Amino acid sequence: RGRAREAKPKAGEAGAGIEILGVGAGIEDEAVLEGGASVGDGLVFAFSAALASSALKEAELGEADLDFVAGNFNGEHYDAWESAHSRSRCFRSRRERLPTLWPAASTGEVGAAGGVLALIAAADAIAEGYAPGKMCALELRSEGRARSVVVLGRPPRGRA
């Protein structure tokens, strides 16, 4: 009576089994706010570190396992340039396309909340079944030099 309970999805329900599987961080050598040109080195390092830190112990997680990308891309030309450079070095497997989820396209620039918004949008897309797959690379970048990648998804059965 009168006690609050935390709602947790049960196995088989939407939202069940979505996990953060790996996290990586990197530092970009050049910062746009300092007059430099970012070429994606920090994001490439963060991507590799996220895959290496994967919680999937029995098998290596590779870029070919990732079905789509989400991020806090806000439409700035320097973010597009960095994304193009880094993705050409991170995603090496043959793909017809790499689906991308950019929540800021719907909400507009939300500053530091952009990373959290991208995480929530990607998790919801996977949970509700409208994502193009069950594994996502979440690319996050600051206006400064900090870069990070989070691998999010439902681990394949028998691999967690």
The mean pLDDT value of the chain amounts to: 84
**Boundaries of every domain in the chain:** 19-153
Biggest alpha carbon–alpha carbon distance for the chain:
60
Point out which residues pair with 139 in neighbouring strands: 71, 149
Percent of the chain with pLDDT over 90: 44
A 10 A CB-CB count for 22 gives 21
Round to whole Å and give the CA distance between 92 and 62: 10
* 11 within 8 A of 42, measured Cβ to Cβ: no
Point out which residues pair with 141 in neighbouring strands: 147
Per-residue confidence band for 93, with pLDDT thresholds at 50, 70 and 90: confident
**Helix, strand, or coil here: 86?**
helix
Look up the CATH superfamily of 19-153: Thiolase/Chalcone synthase (3.40.47.10)
How distant, in Å, are the alpha carbons of 2, 133, 159 from that of 73? 43, 20, 31
Round to whole Å and give the CA distance between 76 and 22: 27
pLDDT in tens, 111-155: 888 999 999 999 999 999 999 999 999 999 988 899 999 999 987
* 68 within 8 A of 57, measured Cβ to Cβ: no
pTM: 0.82
Task: Report the pLDDT value the prediction gives residue 61, as an integer from 0 to 100.
Answer: 77
**Helix, strand, or coil here: 112?**
coil
Gyration radius of the chain over CA positions = 16
pLDDT in tens, 32-84: 888 888 889 999 999 999 999 886 655 577 889 899 999 998 878 888 888 88
